Structure 1
Amino acid sequence: MAWPSFTADVTQNSNQITIYGAVPASEIPAGFEAIVYGVETVANLEVAAGTEIMYDGGGNPYSTLSLVRPFTGSTATGVEVVIKPTGSLFNDVVGVFRNGSNQQNQLMANYYQFCEGDTPITHQPLDENADPLSIDTLPMMNQQVADAISAFQNAAGTAAGYDVTSTSTDTSNGSNGLKRLMRLGDFGGYGGSTAPSLSSLSLNDLNNIPISSLLAAGVGASNLPVETSVTVNTNLRNADHGMQDVFTSNGQTRRYFRIKDGGAWLPYVEMLHTGNTGSIVSKDYIEGTFDPSVEDTDSVGVPSYSIRAGEYTRTGDDVTVYILMGGSWAITPSVTGRLRIANLPFISNGDYSFMPNIGFTDPASVGCSLVTGYVVNNSNHCVINATSGISTNGEPLPFDGVKSSTTDFYVFATIAYKAVPQ
């Protein structure tokens, strides 16, 4: 190792050495060793202190180095003085170099461990108060990446390692020797706005569609349920079992269904055609029958019905009823009573007028009159407005208190009203 050297003047038995140059003697630590190479070599001169830079009359810089003990050699000028670290300070410097070397060795060991080890590296940051860091090695990180890729492939399913079909009719094996995964749209698989045709898939027989698919078939295809263009929805569980829905495509609204059992297609069953679509009603439409009745508001007499029929339709809250009644009625005079048609199928949501045909006759004579009436709000009956226009053999109806007899009656009515919402 090369130690710092200076040009100096030395004086025998003096503890002062004059050092020339721009480096002040004050920067030479106390305890260092000065070695003088003059008339003779004198070593083991311990440095005590040094001064700052001073200048002689010629402007040359110099400083004075003080020794612990006087210089014992010969007086000389312009000799070489070498400064060598010694003592505890030297040992500290050596320790620094040793620690640096140890740290370098540890760094190389950590680097080797980082590149090839299978356990984490523990590293202490420069801040000694900080917690040590645990660093995974490259093999550990590579394994973590491999595990992540494997987990992704497992999550992606077996599709991750398969090739896909290259054409809409590709039945070849992929690069792994296994069947390819089918893209949407291939073989009529659901995936396009327009179903592909049988002919585009080199198929012309509804019995030979190999997979679940939605296809179009034209006239001339084999095993059509009807000789017209159709859309075929095929669902196969396996080669021996499945089902087909076939819809006509020419505006006839026909639908056929069949199943495949034991490898053979059974005959088609026609499920839908224009002859049965008319009976399909909306969820807001209901229809049915009911038993209407006639009565006097004063409850005079009980009619005996020979015919008693009522039908109704309801769409939303709009109700229409059709009534036909006939029979005989033993009636006693009633001054205040009025004729009422009762037992309507739904409660009315308001007063609604109507005009029924009503007749009361003796058994030997038949006659009917058109009168007016109204459905009573929040009830299931209606009242006839007036009875004076209805007569039996020229006499007023019995409800005005005039007649007492057994009378034949007939009621024909169509009544429309709004019902209380359900």
Structure 2
Amino acid sequence: MDTGDTTWVLIASGLVLFMHVPGLALFYGGLVSQRNVVSTLMHSFVSLLIVSVVWVLWGYSFSYGTSIGGFMGGFDYIGFKGVGPEVYGSLTIPHYLFALLQIVYVAITVAIISSGISGRISFKAWILFTILWPTVVYAPMAHMVWGGGLLAQLGELDFAGGTVVHITSGVAALVAAIMIGPRKGYTTEQKPHNVVLFLFGAATLWFGWFGFNGGSALASGSLTSLVLLNTHIAGAAAGIGWLVIEWMMRKRPTLVGTATGAIAGLVAITPAAGYVSVPSALIIGLIGAPVCYFSIYYLKAKLKYDDTLDAFGVHGMTGIWGAIATGLFASKEINPAGNGLFYGNPEQVLHQLTGVGAAILLTVVGTFVILKVISLITPLRVSEKEELVGLDVSSHAEPAYNIEEEQPYQSFEHYEVKNAH
């Protein structure tokens, strides 16, 4: 066991927890209308609570237990049986710590999905979803890529979660948004209610991403240093890319757009962070900006789906680009795991495309089945009146702002009176 490696992964785990709450919660909370701030924060916070428990009881075992057909892990670690203070595998950190890092990874993945269905999913349905989705979708995907399963055996490279985290969460959000349907009065143009909260969340996400990507090195050293540098440069390049595109296309650069572009760059570099050089990271981040921009402003408008906070555009589409880019730019000079196309190994692109396809297929089928099962137990969507009042009041009796001008409806009775005529 190495105390330096252990210290770094302890810090990284805390950073990922911080990027989840408050980071992701405020990032999404600032983007929604003032009627759905508390419910959006609740989706992120509750996913952390429930997924953490699910992961201890069975999720971790299904990801990292003895392989069953290369598709999922067995029952070795049910209830964290066998997870102790000893060094984990060939690493230099305690098994406890490796398991903790995996908990915060899966928790934030589930929270990302909530952004696609914000403002209309029932809270009961969300609770059930946070139990079932990491079990049915995330655990098998994590096993196949990181737990020694089929994709790992094939040679797919995913340093910190391009396929496992971003593609699965983005695609799941899209499937859920289509199945639940668009918001009442939905239009493609929507205004965030609080840009300040949004930016604080975005900055916290960026800060936490150092732990997210850097923690996946599972050690402290030169590779981890490169991962942090690649992460930062890709985010900066994508932020600049979005700013330029938005300025050219819409004549006004916006803070929300520029910060969203930076987040897209962080998503794009996630699978490649420990396999590519700094110039390659810059290119991956820069190209991530137009991929994300056109997914949000053109693909979404063309297909007319209501992905509330663009989980599919930011995480799904940009995650796909990042996974493919790993197969282009990976270099054995950086990491002996393998070369990509630009370093003489075109086969790596095929491995990456296989991983992308597997992530999409598993997520689409798994998410569809989960939501169908939940719909047999409880409605997926709140009523029209609950949606118009806002989920803060109708689901939680807790408006974010106790000011009449900021919160149109304080109760159902208030809604009835205001809409009587």
Task: Provide the TM-score with structure 1 as the length reference.
Answer: 0.18
* Bigger fraction of residues in strand: 1
Larger gyration radius, structure 1 or structure 2? 1
* Bigger fraction of residues in helix: 2
Higher relative contact order (CA closer than 8 Å, sequence separation 6+) = 2
Task: Provide the TM-score with structure 2 as the length reference.
Answer: 0.18
